[in-house]
Structure 1
Amino acid sequence: MKQSLARDKSQISFDRISKVLAFIHNNLDSSLSLNDIAKQSCWSRWQLQRVFQSQTGMSVANYTRELKLSVGAEWLLDTNKRVIDIAIEFGFSSEISFSRAFKQKFGISPSTYRKRAQRIGLKKPIEVSRLSYNGLGSSVFLEVRVDTKEEFILKGVRGEINGLFSSSPNFSQIVPKLWQQLELEARDFPRPKGSLLGIIDVTKSDFDGSSLDYWAGIRVPEEAALPELPSLYSNKFEVLSVPKQTYAVVKHRGPVLNLPKTIEWFILSWLPNSGYRGIDGYELEIYPESYQPASANAEMEYWLPIEKISDT
């Protein structure tokens, strides 16, 4: 009974934050004061901040500002609108205040961002989804962003898998064995921080989602000299060069066994309504240092190669 009551309270809180999120998403072209947002919930401004932070990991103000700046950044790339017009459109008092906030988020000015013409650090609205794990439905918030990653080199082990959407998927049996093989081969070599990646090469796959190359590997540091590559980490590892790509990135929370459900939502639900299309490239699984794959609190990211759909 207590567990059921706790779940009910959690769902009520989730539903109210969902309402707050919808209000923010539909009113990005206004100033959106904290007081206005709090009126969409049953909470005071302080209570809303506390609950919103616990549910999303961000403050209301930071989330709203990052969304405004991200949409503004896309407008810089996709339209000829002046910076001052974009600033006013999203409720900034002046071009100066918009440019200052923009530089704090992206590290460069709006004009430089436009000149570089790369989609980097674009936060997308938090999505509300109901995923089913082991037959049990669960409402979750899913975070997506659009980012560009420069070319890099990976050393690791490779195997052939049938993917999530093939008629006979076998990745859940093969992928863990590849990671075990990587750990065995790399145990005598120092591991760079935050460098473990799973890579799915779909550039040469069959149309039915079979015959995909899966790599479990270690990213080679940019400063590594080319002569070191054959023996770096292990001379038993193969080398893969991953080209520069633009990606949609979803954050997966919880056991890695549930990752396929998140990917399924990402490709079947989020992508068709995103204004982007998927392309055949290299899909990435990026794991933090000391990742615990069975932990309910584990977090990793899945990177899907995309391109912007032209309006013309």
Structure 2
Amino acid sequence: MTAPTPLSPQSRLDRLLQHIHQHLDEPLQLERLAQLSACSRWQLQRDFQAATGLSLARYIRRLRLSRAAEWLLSGRLRQLDIALGCGFDSEVSFSRAFRQEFGCAPGQYRQAGIRRGLSAPLLRPDNRQLLQLRIDSRPACRLMGLSDHCGGLFAEHPDFAERVPQIWRRLLQRCPHARQAPMAAIEIDVCQPGRLRYWAGTPFGGTATAGLELLDVPASEYLVVPHRGEPGTLAANLAWILRQWLPGSGYRALSACDLEIYAPADTRGGMEYWIPIAAAPKC
């Protein structure tokens, strides 16, 4: 009898994550997780930290507290029931951990009624790099910039990879200080399926620049997708998220502006793509 083929580090991590996500409401003992991963407890924790940037205990607690935040906003469960359902042995320990994670007490979070700082389970879209999504919110703002039309992800002729850098170059020639806080908004063109209106800009500070347009972006809750690298990878991840992950996530996309939030002076690399969402209706 031939010995079973050892799992690759990626397959071992993916199997571990699947187990954690499926048993989040149960005790997750380190010894059992190490057995599942066919390694020692020490190696498990070291490998998990290296792959995700989080300790295993921190990751599990973050997911449980994010689930608790959703339950608080649903308004149907008592705080004590939520604490026990998320693996805490008392309401006091739950409140302490919740405040450390979200910066406020559970009751204050429930009263505010806004999703912010929620972590979604780690994903690996189509066997690519791990992706950590989060649910967050932004207040209304006004964007100052330039806009033009392009073909989006689902257009018959997508040309956003060529058109978007052109729009940014035009903006930065006219408004160099936009490099300090670059931000983009993406509107769906309701008259042309698949076509988008892309705004390259910066938050409006009260002083208009000649030749630039203004766009009001309403307050919303968002699904936040981190990205660093080639535009094609972002496009593939967004397509996978919208088609595969979102329908079963408990959220639905809204017909509002998507946002791109960049680090200062960085309009090509690290950014976050913000998709406006709302809780999906309960069946």
One fold, TM greater than 0.5? yes
Contact 1:196 1:218 in 2 (8 A): yes
Which residue is 2:241 aligned to? 266
Does residue 1:59 correspond to 2:55, yes or no? yes
State the secondary structure of the residue aligned to 1:165.
Answer: coil
Which residue is 1:218 aligned to? 202
Q: 1:229 aligns with which of 207, 215, 231?
A: 207
State the secondary structure of the residue aligned to 2:129.
Answer: strand
The within-5 A match list for 1:168-247 is: 168-187=157-176, 189=177, 191-192=179-180, 195-202=181-188, 204-206=189-191, 208-210=193-195, 212-220=196-204, 224=205, 228-230=206-208, 234-247=209-222
The within-5 A match list for 1:17-56 is: 17-56=13-52
Contact 2:172 2:178 in 1 (8 A): no
Contact 1:252 1:262 in 2 (8 A): no
State how far apart, in whole Å, the 2-side matches of 1:51 and 1:142 are: 17
State how far apart, in whole Å, the 2-side matches of 1:253 and 1:240 are: 26
Contact 1:154 1:217 in 2 (8 A): yes
State the secondary structure of the residue aligned to 1:175.
Answer: helix
Shift of 1:105: 0.9
Decide whether aligned partners of structure 1 residues 119 and 152 sit closer, same or farther in structure 2, where only a CA change above 3 A counts: same
Q: 1:279 aligns with which of 239, 244, 254?
A: 254
State the secondary structure of the residue aligned to 2:183.
Answer: strand
State how far apart, in whole Å, the 2-side matches of 1:82 and 1:178 are: 51
Shift of 1:290: 4.3
Which string of whole-angstrom CA distances, capped at 9 and with x for unpartnered residues, describes residues 19-58 of structure 1? 1111111121123233332222122222112211221221
State how far apart, in whole Å, the 2-side matches of 1:254 and 1:40 are: 33
Does residue 1:89 correspond to 2:67, yes or no? no
Contact 1:279 1:306 in 2 (8 A): yes
Decide whether aligned partners of structure 1 residues 292 and 148 sit closer, same or farther in structure 2, where only a CA change above 3 A counts: closer
The within-5 A match list for 1:153-172 is: 153-172=142-161
Shift of 1:190: 7.1
Q: What residue identity is the alignment partner of 1:54?
A: A
State how far apart, in whole Å, the 2-side matches of 1:190 and 1:175 are: 15
Identity fraction in percent: 39
Q: 1:301 aligns with which of 256, 260, 272?
A: 272
The within-5 A match list for 1:123-134 is: 123-130=119-126
Q: 1:104 aligns with which of 87, 100, 103?
A: 100
Q: 1:257 aligns with which of 204, 207, 232?
A: 232
Contact 2:223 2:277 in 1 (8 A): yes
State the secondary structure of the residue aligned to 1:206.
Answer: coil
Shift of 1:191: 4.4
The within-5 A match list for 1:63-82 is: 63-82=59-78
Bigger shift: 246-255 or 236-245?
A: 246-255
Contact 1:31 1:92 in 2 (8 A): no
Decide whether aligned partners of structure 1 residues 302 and 292 sit closer, same or farther in structure 2, where only a CA change above 3 A counts: closer
Q: What residue identity is the alignment partner of 2:50?
A: S
Residue correspondences, number: 278
Q: What residue identity is the alignment partner of 1:155?
A: M
Decide whether aligned partners of structure 1 residues 13 and 93 sit closer, same or farther in structure 2, where only a CA change above 3 A counts: same
Query: What TM-score do you get using the length of structure 2 for normalisation?
Result: 0.91
Contact 1:159 1:214 in 2 (8 A): yes
Decide whether aligned partners of structure 1 residues 254 and 34 sit closer, same or farther in structure 2, where only a CA change above 3 A counts: farther
Any stretches of 5+ residues in structure 2 without a counterpart?
Answer: 1-5
Decide whether aligned partners of structure 1 residues 13 and 299 sit closer, same or farther in structure 2, where only a CA change above 3 A counts: farther
